[in-house]
Amino acid sequence: MTEALGRVVATERKPNTPHEFHFWTAIDSPVGIGTIVRVDGAHPMDGQIPHIYGIIVEGFSYTDLQSPMHDVLGHDGLPTTEGYAATERAEIRLYTAAVLRQIPEEPLQPVPMGQVFLAEEADVQVALRMDSYLREGANTGIPIGVYRAGGTDAVIYLDADFLLGPEAAHLNITGVSGLATKTSAVEWLLASLFKHFPEDKGSIAAVCFNVKGPDLCYLDQPGKLEKSDEALYEKLEVDPKPFENVQYFAPYTAKGLALNTFRNNEALLDNVTPLTWGLREVLQFAEVLLNRDDIDAKADALIDFIVQNVVDKEFSDPLLSKKHMVQSFAERADAPRCDDPEDAKPSVKYLDALRRTGHRFGGRQRPSVREL
């Protein structure tokens, strides 16, 4: 057990509560804002010594001066004459900590007087309630980072059941925009999940949407790591290597001649698959792709007719040498157009709206027919 670094104090003006307490330490004590500490009560409660875990949220420093003027007079008005002061004034460091957890948890009482200790790794687990899912034989912890303070390096875990359980999958990450910190956090979390997810709970996969720049386009390529990064990987028991078994899906450009992706080097195209939509997908999600005003009972009837009589049906056409299968709406010169949808016949109006998806989602729609 480490030595005590402070003692709990309380005054009438600064009392302790069940949710907050105060303590003093030496000036050179290795604590600061964000440090987790443990308080051991001086007297047992129902036969058990209370343990309180808190995180420092505020710090104070002051001396016995009644007025700043006294310090000015003691130095003859010159800050450089410190050696001529009659005495060296005592300084106190006082910290305020928010309570994270009390043991026992009932009854919930104000924090008692006692010694304050720097939290060790086991204390961090209890303070953050990680001990509930780090039990021997029922460990579902996923390491996500390291807590560091005062010489303590403690691994921080998330509960796999809470993160990926049947009623979970909730994670919020906030940060400054444009620094790729949130992206890095997600990539690290995925690497840790793939390494530590319990085998008895099945296998997992991740579907990521790259919405800006090349951030996620090179997950299968190695990056540069500093020595400090390698030490973190080792402590968290995650292999410092790129992701394996990565598949990319990219649309074509508007002209349809090349894939619209940063992975356009021939050496990187072996795991890139074109992402396109066919007629079946357009009809299945017509209410998403089309305007709400275009979808009504008549449109539903027309869509059902096309699904039953056109999609994936074989047709013969004198313009084609072989039989073909319809997969999307073609833009042909002799196809009926609708210049004024309000006055057009309903069937032509809906066909025209569906046909326009080829312009709205250029590069994502498959060719109109497939030869058999």
User: What pLDDT, in 10s, does the model give residues 143-176?
Assistant: 999 999 888 899 999 999 888 877 776 788 888 8
Residue 1 belongs to a domain:
no
Q: What are phi and psi of 100, to 5 degrees?
A: -95, -40
Q: 61 vs 315, which has greater pLDDT?
A: 61
Same structural domain, 267 and 184: no
The pair of three-digit structure tokens given for residue 281, joined into one six-digit string? 């997908």
Looking at 75, 99, 128, which one is the last position of a domain? Answer: 128
What pLDDT, on the 0 to 100 scale, is given for residue 338? 46
Separation CA 331–CA 368 (nearest Å): 8
Same structural domain, 33 and 123: yes
Separation CA 152–CA 35 (nearest Å): 10
Same structural domain, 66 and 174: no
What pLDDT, on the 0 to 100 scale, is given for residue 336? 43
Flag whether pLDDT at 345 surpasses 90: no
What pLDDT, on the 0 to 100 scale, is given for residue 344? 46
Confidence band for 67, pLDDT divided at 50, 70 and 90: confident
What pLDDT, on the 0 to 100 scale, is given for residue 335? 43
The angle, 0 to 180 degrees and rounded to 10, between the axes of the packed helices 297-309 and 346-355 is 70
Residue 164 belongs to a domain:
yes
Looking at 106, 128, 150, which one is the last position of a domain? Answer: 128
pTM: 0.72
Domain total for the chain? 4
What pLDDT, on the 0 to 100 scale, is given for residue 269? 85
Residue 357 belongs to a domain:
yes
In the chain, the percentage of residues whose pLDDT exceeds 70 is 76
CA angle 284-372-366, nearest 5°? 40
Looking at residue 100, its amino acid is: L
Same structural domain, 196 and 267: no
Q: 108 vs 1, which has greater pLDDT?
A: 108
What pLDDT, on the 0 to 100 scale, is given for residue 331? 38
Confidence band for 115, pLDDT divided at 50, 70 and 90: very high
Domain range holding 296?
A: 279-371
Same structural domain, 230 and 291: no
Listed residue (49, 53, 27, 23) closest to 129, CA to CA = 53
Confidence band for 328, pLDDT divided at 50, 70 and 90: low
The pair of three-digit structure tokens given for residue 118, joined into one six-digit string? 């720097």
* Strand ranges (E), the chain: 6-9, 20-25, 36-41, 51-63, 91-103, 114-118, 134-135, 138-139, 141-149, 152-159, 248-250, 272-274, 314-315, 324-326, 369-371
Same structural domain, 206 and 225: yes
What pLDDT, on the 0 to 100 scale, is given for residue 337? 46
Contact status, residue 322 vs residue 372, Cβ threshold 8 Å: yes
Helix (H, G, I), strand (E, B) or coil at 54: strand
What pLDDT, on the 0 to 100 scale, is given for residue 110? 94
With residue 85 as reference, give the H or E element that holds it.
none
Separation CA 124–CA 297 (nearest Å): 60
Same structural domain, 97 and 11: yes
Least confident range of 173-187, 221-235, 286-300, 319-333:
319-333
Residue 147 belongs to a domain:
yes
Confidence band for 58, pLDDT divided at 50, 70 and 90: very high
What pLDDT, on the 0 to 100 scale, is given for residue 85? 61
Separation CA 256–CA 276 (nearest Å): 11
**Arithmetic mean of pLDDT, 344-348:** 54
Same structural domain, 305 and 356: yes
Looking at 102, 128, 154, which one is the last position of a domain? Answer: 128
Confidence band for 182, pLDDT divided at 50, 70 and 90: confident
Least confident range of 129-143, 199-213, 293-307:
293-307
Confidence band for 334, pLDDT divided at 50, 70 and 90: very low
Least confident range of 54-58, 122-126, 148-152:
148-152
Residue 199 belongs to a domain:
yes
What pLDDT, on the 0 to 100 scale, is given for residue 273? 87
Cβ atoms < 10 Å from Cβ of 53: 21
**Arithmetic mean of pLDDT, 200-219:** 86
Cβ atoms < 10 Å from Cβ of 282: 24
Flag whether pLDDT at 40 surpasses 70: yes
In the chain, the percentage of residues whose pLDDT exceeds 90 is 35
Mean pLDDT rounded to a whole number for the chain: 81
Residue 43 belongs to a domain:
yes
Separation CA 39–CA 117 (nearest Å): 6
Listed residue (183, 182, 172, 143) closest to 160, CA to CA = 143
Same structural domain, 71 and 162: no
Confidence band for 34, pLDDT divided at 50, 70 and 90: very high
Same structural domain, 92 and 181: no
Same structural domain, 124 and 28: yes
What pLDDT, on the 0 to 100 scale, is given for residue 217? 87
Same structural domain, 229 and 158: yes
Instruction: Give the ranges where the chain is alpha helix by DSSP (H).
Output: 68-74, 121-127, 160-164, 181-196, 227-235, 279-284, 286-289, 297-309, 346-355, 357-360
Flag whether pLDDT at 186 surpasses 50: yes
Flag whether pLDDT at 347 surpasses 70: no
